[in-house]
Chains A and B, each alone.
Chain A
Amino acid sequence: MKGRPCGVFDIRYSQDMAILRTKTHWALFILFLVSLFVVPTFLNGHILSLGVIIGTTMISMFGVQIMIGYTYQITLGHAGFVGFGAYVSALLMHHLGWNFFFALPMAGLGAALYGLIIGTSSLRCKGLYMVIPTISSHFIFFYLANEVFRKWTYGSDGIECGMPVLFGFAFDSDLRYFYLVAVISVLLGIVAKNLVRTKTGRAFVAIRDNDIAAEVMGIDIFRYKLLSFAIGNFYAGIGGALWGHYVGYINTEFFPILDSVYYAAFCVVGGLGSIMGAVFAAFFWRLLGEGINYVAPLLDAILPMSAGNIISSMGLIIFAVLTILFLIFEPRGIAHRWELFKQSYRLHPFNY
């Protein structure tokens, strides 16, 4: 039972279920939305581009959260799906001249379709064996992008991604693109938050907790596993397409197998089974990466190794050590700490 602040009584079911329950909630939410659109005008391009990258990572991370955190379909190929989405929208815009806002949903649907194909193996595989199809999917994506569709994707030369234009309004500056990503990630975040509260979401959670029991209860687990794959990879595709069009140029090297593992790992760091966890995961990952990029050249002056070695290896080592520490000391992730904080804030003067 979640604690309620003193004096807040849920007298209707709709109040009990509401995400934004109190006036303070609404005030904070509106304040957040207003500041999301006002504050960026004062920020410089570097911070805005970091914001765009956090936003796109967050969208992909919602997908990981739905797949691992809610359905426990362990995916180690998420960066492959992200890349798949980026390629789909880049190809549609480059070769067919589609508008970005038609190509973006197609990117999501394309990645979802690929996810469905890979997800059919969840009929037989489960638990740790889901590693097989998901890792395979990443390498098959490399092969598809570099060899099979070489004529269109130009292989390792990479493909140019067009500029998003809406009714003659081009999202060409960092600020405009930030707004685009902010709107889409907030919308998709709200969708994800509500999705996991619906019948579908409850079916996912039932499969996560015990898939045999779920099946006995009459949940069509194959259908819901596939649905989880489709939705999770839809998010991945959207995130990838937004990222690709921001960078302006993609090839398969932007989607390494390391990122696939990081998506799963930072999902755990953020907190499994909570959409807020995906938000924390995206912030944690990208801000930490930015910090490492900033610190590594400074370490170069202290350590005797060559600068190139430090810059390429520092990220690997620090991410690995931090993730291991999180797994050992806070396996429930940052989201759990956030819940504890909210709980103690609500009950503030009292400690029960």
Chain B
Amino acid sequence: MSTFIQLMISGVAIGLIYALAALGVVVVYKSTKVLNLAPGGLLLICAYIAWTFLVRVNLPIPIALGLAVILAVIIGWVVERVALRPLIGQPILASIILTNMIWFFFRGTTFLFWGGNPRMFPSWLSGRPTINIYGIGIPEIMIWCIIVSILSITALVIYFKFTRSGLAMRVTAEDVVVAENLGINITRVYSYTWVICLLLFLITAFFVGSIQGISQDLDFIGVYGVIVALLGGLESFPGAIIAGLVIGIVQSLTGGYLAGVLGGGIAETTPFIVMFLVSFFRPYGFFGLERIERI
């Protein structure tokens, strides 16, 4: 029983990370109908930027985080301006390949500048004690992770539901041409989207870096983030969280119980098997909108 609870907890922890990474995908899809396959690369660049300011230059924490936020915003704006904007209105294949190439570009640049050695974030978050609730040890970082993901989802939902630019984003997602005719500045919508997306990835990268350190393997979190976003439904924030938890727990449980029977690789593969099976029953994910198509 205690192994089960321990596995559940580690599953929830990794699931929350996937969910945070998936939020960046959902935001982009929800407002611009672009499937963002770049989280791997964007997580890498955000993590290395934060690491550089926090550890390499060793600035005070508020200044370091402020600088990292500013750089993330700049990167988001530049990525949108240089790569995404010329492709507004192009077929989906173009956006899929484009975002993939953004992933590879940042994977390449981070490897070029920072090399392949694993790096660690300062331990003032990961080194916190484990909290005991009825004899079950919960690492404090997980609680922070839960708080941050709930906060970011609330902020995103409020932004999308109640602000004018959030409304503009929803209109743009519905139909770019109509949105433009209604006087919505869609280039600004695109910019805002990518800036928000990069900020979410910065938060995710910060947590991942605190939990397991930074290395080139970080882009696998990105791949799982995409999978989680697709499983939860590309338009749904709560869906991303639920799917993240499902994938995290399934992965952790299969890794814990079935690794001996089915081989060590099963933990990495189960999310994909689940995904493949779910695509037969709910191709749009748990909470995705089923589009009704006409000729």
Contact = CB atoms under 8 A, between A and B. Distances in A.
Contacts of A125: 279, 283
Contacts of B223: 135, 257
A321 B276 contact: no
A136 B111 contact: no
Contact of A331 (B94, B105, B107, B111): B94
B57 interface: no
Which of A143, A313, A319, A321 has the most CB atoms of chain B within a 10 A radius of its CB? A313
Interface in B244-287: 262-266, 268-269, 272-273, 275-276, 279-281, 283-284
A68 B93 contact: yes
Contact of A132 (B86, B87, B100, B276): B276
Contacts of A150: 263
Contacts, number: 157
A78 B13 CA distance: 32
Contacts of A136: 272-273, 275-276, 279
B112 A309 contact: yes
Interface stretch (A107-115, A166-174, A258-266, A283-291): A258-266
Nearest to A261: B100
Contact of B90 (A126, A131, A210, A331): A331
Interface residues of B, number: 48
B104 interface: yes
Interface string B215-228: 00000000100110
Given A261-B104, A317-B112, A320-B104, A129 B93 contact: no
Interface residues of A, number: 58
A71 interface: no
Contact of A323 (B101, B269, B294): B101
A178 interface: no
Interface in A236-261: 257-258, 261
Interface in B213-245: 223, 226-227, 230
B109 interface: yes
A87 interface: no
Nearest to B264: A147
B101 A309 contact: no
A121 to B, nearest CB: 5
Contacts of B284: 129
A195 interface: no
A218 to B, nearest CB: 14
A79 interface: no
Given A135-B272, A331-B90, A147 B111 contact: no
B74 interface: no
A132 B277 CA distance: 10
A329 to B, nearest CB: 8
Contacts of A212: 293-295
Contacts of B112: 305, 309-310, 313-314, 317
Given A265-B100, A268-B93, A331-B94, A131 B230 contact: yes
A187 interface: no
B97 A265 contact: yes
A11 interface: no
Interface of B: 35, 37, 83, 86-87, 90, 92-94, 96-98, 100-102, 104-105, 107-109, 111-113, 115-116, 223, 226-227, 230, 262-266, 268-269, 272-273, 275-276, 279-281, 283-284, 293-295
30 contacts: A74-B93, A76-B96, A125-B279, A125-B283, A127-B92, A128-B92, A137-B276, A139-B269, A147-B263, A147-B265, A148-B262, A261-B97, A265-B97, A265-B101, A308-B115, A309-B115, A312-B111, A313-B108, A313-B109, A315-B108, A316-B107, A317-B105, A317-B108, A317-B112, A319-B104, A320-B101, A320-B102, A328-B86, A328-B87, A331-B94
Given A129-B284, A315-B108, 6 more contacts: A121-B279, A125-B283, A137-B276, A327-B87, A327-B97, A327-B98
